[in-house]
Amino acid sequence: MKKDNSIDGDINEYLSNEKKSLNDDFTRNVLNQIKSIEKRPIQGKRKISLFPVIVFGFASCLLFFFIITSPNHDLVDSSMNKVSLDESRVTTLGESEQVMLEDLMALPDELDESSMLFIEETYDLLVLLDY
Amino acid sequence: MHNATHFFFDQTELLPMSKKAGFKSEELSDDHILMLKIADGNQGAMSDIIDKWKNGLFRFFDRSLRNKADAEDLTQRVFIRIYQSASRYKPKAKFSTYLFTVARNLLIDEIKKRNRAQVSSYYDDWINFNKGERDNGIKEWQEILDVAMQEMPEYHSTAILLRVQRELSYREIAKIMKVSESRVKTWIFRARVHLKESLEHLRA
């Protein structure tokens, strides 16, 4: 029992570690460290605010580079040209349609619509049918 | 050097600070008040907190890491972290609970760093020490206990150190270590058994 008590006492003495302590310089050092850290945050903040801009710029460059070097780039380019050509055709067709409509409007009212629309083959067919 | 527990705080000065923190000034302990003052930019309060707690923290780290320089470094880092988070500090629990939660987080980080760096084990140092570099001031049983602490998982040593050094309640230790009280009791029991067995082996 006595032995057990002395063991417990030694363990408690060891764990308490009361003989060790820090000197007064420690407090001064920590305060100096804090002061030096306080001066730094402005730079830190700048870094943080610039970081997303740099990342976004880099990502944009990468994307642009990828598009330029991509094998589908020519296909994309030619399809774009095709679309623009079609667009120009649509506009010219639009003009011709307008002219045709104006011509149609200029036709006399008494003109028979059916006779105007019949083509030569239609007449041959009507003859064959004794129309 | 004065002790922070005997400070006299001017109530008129405290009122706006405690209101800002959302607590009644009479509910706050001396440490809580010092923290509010630190948040207000008071360097003197920071100095008082350091003077009051530095040895407690240093002894805790020294026994956990068995290295004076590392213990001093970690103690310093605890105070820097406390200073940096003073503006967000809420006096919800006892200050010691908050302080040793910060201390334990740093200790775990340090142990992880050590494991990654594969630092030579303390056990090897101890063997070398016994080969002829023995300092007469250090008792053999203390060296045995150092090795026994090294063999223990961190949560066993932290639990027993908080209990013996700081005399914290099981509840407080459980709060710091974020586990149940019964688990804390088991860890402390196992740690003590391990330390006892090491000494008994020596004295047999």
What is the CATH classification number for the domain harbouring B74?
Answer: 1.10.1740.10
User: What pLDDT does B17 receive?
Assistant: 59
Shared domain check, B202 and B109: no
- Compute the distance between CA of residue A66 and CA of residue A68 in angstroms, rounded to an integer: 6
Does the residue A102 lie in any domain? yes
Q: What is the CATH number of the domain that holds B143?
A: 1.10.10.10
Shared domain check, B97 and B40: yes
Instruction: For residue B65, give how far its alpha carbon lies from the nearest alpha carbon of chain A (Å).
Output: 12
Q: Out of A10, A21, A31, whose CB is closest to B46?
A: A31
Shared domain check, B183 and B96: no
The residue type of B87 is: S
Does the residue B18 lie in any domain? yes
Domain residue limits at A130 = 83-131
pLDDT, tens only, A70-118: 766 665 556 666 655 555 555 555 677 777 777 777 765 555 555 556 6
User: What pLDDT does B92 receive?
Assistant: 83
Domain residue limits at B26 = 10-119
- Cβ of A37 and B55 within 8 Å? no
Shared domain check, B151 and B86: no
**Number of Cβ atoms within 10 Å of the Cβ of B102:** 18
Provide the 8-state DSSP code for A107: S
Shared domain check, B151 and B81: no
Shared domain check, A55 and A28: yes
What is the average pLDDT across B86-98?
89
**Measured at the alpha carbon of residue B168, what is the angle toward residues B144 and B64, in degrees to the nearest 5?**
30
Number of structural domains (chain A) is 2
**pLDDT for residue B110 is more than 90:** yes
- Cβ of residue A27 closer than 8 Å to a chain B Cβ: yes
